């Protein structure tokens, strides 16, 4: 969390976080556009400019509380040929883009290990930054795949419940409150109610073993 970080760590994590959130939201916009929806482009979201995507308070909360958000990309699923499939693909695009970033970074590590370079303080620091970026993107993947509104994973549940409005409406209406309650309990209780770090470490370790 930001209050337990040194200035150096904040200066490293914050740009990585901004870049990762930007790619995440751009992926949503790009896939929705590819499926025929002009809404992201008309709202100025089909860009890698961080200013178009970031929610200042959401970014701050991610650093302070370990939970935060960017501005959701507006979409209109009526433009999709298959509405609910389009919703699923668009929703998965963001988290999978974070997983792709981690994979690319680990592939860079693999190449660096195949062709060892002369060790230097700069190179060591650079590899540490890459490692932090890789893990941060796994964390964003895990967080956003939680099936709780308004996170991306909830849209998968919404697609599955499309024929059950009696369940879908309260799910979307009260999901945000459930998520807030889980976050507060996670901070208040001496146990991991939301063990995002542990889940992220498990996935990250698996990717490391697979790629490296």
* Pairwise CA distance, residues 27 & 17, whole Å: 15
Neighbour tally for 90: CB within 10 Å: 26
128 is catalytic: no
Q: How many CA atoms lie within 13 A of 191 on its CB side?
A: 2
**CA separation, residue 35 to residues 44, 155, 156 (Å):** 17, 17, 17
* Pairwise CA distance, residues 18 & 205, whole Å: 24
**CA separation, residue 80 to residues 34, 36, 75, 92 (Å):** 10, 6, 10, 15
* Pairwise CA distance, residues 151 & 200, whole Å: 16
Spatial neighbors of 88 by CB under 8 A, at least 6 apart, are: 155, 156, 159
Catalytic residue among 21, 24, 25, 70: 25
Structure tokens at 71: 């501005």
Spatial neighbors of 49 by CB under 8 A, at least 6 apart, are: 22
Any idea which residues carry the catalytic annotation? 25
């Amino acid at each position: 969390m930001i209050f337990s970080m040194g200035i150096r760590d904040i200066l490293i994590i914050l740009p990585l976080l901004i870049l990762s959130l930007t790619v995440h939201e751009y992926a949503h916009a790009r896939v929705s556009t590819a499926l025929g929806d002009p809404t992201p482009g008309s709202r100025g979201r089909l860009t890698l400019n961080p200013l178009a995507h970031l929610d200042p308070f959401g970014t701050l909360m991610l650093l302070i509380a370990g939970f935060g958000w960017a501005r959701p990309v507006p979409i209109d699923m009526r433009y999709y040929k298959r509405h609910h499939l389009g919703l699923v693909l668009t929703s998965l695009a963001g988290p999978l883009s974070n997983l792709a970033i981690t994979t690319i970074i680990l592939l860079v590590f693999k190449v660096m290990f195949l062709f060892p370079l002369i060790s230097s303080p700069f190179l060591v620091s650079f590899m540490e930054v890459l490692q932090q970026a890789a893990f941060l993107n796994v964390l964003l993947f895990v967080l956003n795949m939680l099936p709780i509104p308004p996170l991306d994973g909830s849209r998968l549940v919404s697609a599955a419940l499309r024929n059950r409005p009696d369940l879908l409406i309260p799910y979307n209406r009260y999901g945000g409150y459930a998520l807030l309650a889980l976050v507060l309990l996670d901070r208040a209780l001496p146990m991991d109610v939301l063990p995002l770090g542990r889940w992220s470490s498990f996935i990250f370790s698996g990717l490391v073993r697979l790629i490296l």
